[in-house]
Amino acid sequence: MKILLVNSPNPPNYYNREVYLPSSLLYLSAVLQKNGDEIKLLDLKNPKHQITNDDKQKYNETLLIETISSFHPELIGFGSLFSGNFPQLLTLSRATKKHFPSIPIIIGGIHPTIYAEQILKNCPSIDYIVLSEGEETIIQFVNMLRGKSDSFEKIDGFAFRRDEKIIINPKISFIRNPDTIPFPAYNLVDFEDYYVDTSNWHNPKNLPINTSIPILTSRSCPNRCNFCSMYLAMGPKWRARTPQNVVDEIESVYSKYKHRHFSIMDDNFSLNKSRALEICNLILKKNLNLQFETPNGLSINTLDEKLLDALVSAGMVRTYLAIESGSDYIRNKIMKKNLKREKIIEIAKLVKKYKQLNTAAFFIIGMPEETMETLMDTYKMIEEINVERVFLMNIVPFPGTEVFEQALGDNLLIDTNPNNLYLSDDRYFTNYNHFFLKPYEIEVADLQKFRTMCEENLPCIKKTGKQSVIGGN
């Protein structure tokens, strides 16, 4: 079967200088190629397709229609990794249906997983939805199409319409051994298309960077922070690739494509400390002279001097500490981080030992229980840890999370119609200027004043506006 996979573009006003290969679609492409299907990938986030004028939407639609016309796919799949991508996906799906009404359209990603029912109810240009982890589901679906079968009720993690009725098969089965998944289909992309200006990147080894290659060494996270919806996409259990399998992929990209910079994109890379240490040891054993960053996956509770020594020795040059709040009450009782202040301060001091390591931190403000006192606890902690960069985010209450149910039940949502959340918008990407809920005891104006105070007095926080945001693959 000929299948076109499309990586949906970002909102027009979204800024991110860090552009990644589309890992999710490359994984799907790999299993489909192994299944004998012919795959073409159109990545509308690819830097070569980025234009800055008002015709960006028209450009994307024209390119998509031309690609379909020349490739003649029998199935079109759109990826919507994050909520902010969905409006562009929906527009492109409508254009596709207008020109090619007989070609089925299937979508996947975190956003469609959360909003499957609403999307199928309100978006006739979308025919099918893959829920959560998609490698096994997409193969089942494609093989049914090839065999002229429509027994879609048998597909795990799948949503569709049948006689105007919406049927949602919950995702129950997840891939137990991630080593069985083929490496991403790197043959479908030209790495040079993703080259960007990296002259200002932290580069202590002075190696060529050009772009950073995302590596996913494990899936999901067993923790249940009350604001996180990632478990809906990757399941409730943490599943890890073996160290040998991980380093084999890194070595393959290192040797074949001559790349020296990687991004470990796990939700919880360091959950198993011995596994993380072995990955580092294998990188050193194979004499891979590389650099890497860990944008999300280093759990502070797992860090100590031995693990940081190993990570930095293996090439880690940039990391991010997910602290989330300076208030012990907000961080542990509300967010359920189970992260003591003493541990945060210990690791914040320890990372300064490594001169080649650039460290940033994530904080979230605006939880329902936020007060001026808890905000000032965050301000003081940001001052105390003194890292190079802090990302100060406003809480986004995603459906499927505890904080969403709380905000909905207590009528805290601001300028938000719960019935229309499936439509999303670019606020889900650049939420520095927008607040989604009102705390019980303070006003939104107080949150904005606090943000302004932080931006004016803390050099590690850039002023609201165009900011580099980690992620976007």
Per-residue pLDDT, 426: 60
More confident call, 53 vs 199: 199
The rounded distance, in Å, linking the Cα atoms of 75 and 155 is 17
Per-residue pLDDT, 100: 98
What digits encode the pLDDT tens for the residues 409-442?
999 999 878 778 888 766 665 567 789 999 999 9
The rounded distance, in Å, linking the Cα atoms of 63 and 78 is 14
Query: Averaged over 309-332, what is the pLDDT?
Result: 98
Q: Among 25, 115, 23, which Cα is nearest to 79's? A: 25
Per-residue pLDDT, 297: 84
CA distances in angstroms from 13 to 182, 226, 461, 462, 465, listed in the order given: 35, 29, 20, 18, 10
Q: Among 142, 135, 200, which Cα is nearest to 358's? A: 200
Confidence of residue 473 (pLDDT cuts 50, 70, 90): very low
Q: Which of 11-15, 102-106, 306-310, 453-457 has the lowest mean pLDDT?
A: 11-15
The rounded distance, in Å, linking the Cα atoms of 126 and 138 is 15
Domains of the chain: 2-169 (3.40.50.280), 197-457 (3.80.30.20)
What digits encode the pLDDT tens for the residues 22-65?
999 999 999 999 999 999 999 999 988 877 666 888 999 999 99
Cβ proximity of 454 and 361 under 8 Å: no
Confidence of residue 464 (pLDDT cuts 50, 70, 90): low
Per-residue pLDDT, 467: 38
Long-range contact set of residues 27-30: C-beta below 8 Å, sequence gap at least 24: 27/134, 27/135, 27/181, 27/182, 27/184, 27/185, 27/216, 28/77, 28/108, 28/134, 28/135, 28/138, 29/5, 29/184, 29/185, 29/188, 30/181, 30/182, 30/183, 30/184, 30/185
Q: Which of 252-261, 301-310, 314-323, 457-466 has the lowest mean pLDDT?
A: 457-466
Cβ proximity of 341 and 296 under 8 Å: no
Burial of 417 (0-12, 13-18, 19+ CB in 10 A): exposed
Q: Is the pLDDT of residue 88 over 50?
A: yes
Q: Is the pLDDT of residue 466 over 60?
A: no
What digits encode the pLDDT tens for the residues 249-299?
999 999 999 999 999 999 999 999 999 999 999 999 999 999 999 998 899
Residue 178, number of CB atoms within 10 A of its CB:
19
**How large a percentage of the chain has pLDDT more than 70?**
94
**How large a percentage of the chain has pLDDT more than 90?**
83
Q: Is the pLDDT of residue 465 over 70?
A: no
Per-residue pLDDT, 468: 37
Q: Is the pLDDT of residue 471 over 80?
A: no
More confident call, 14 vs 228: 228
What digits encode the pLDDT tens for the residues 110-137?
899 999 999 999 999 999 999 999 999 9
Per-residue pLDDT, 433: 78
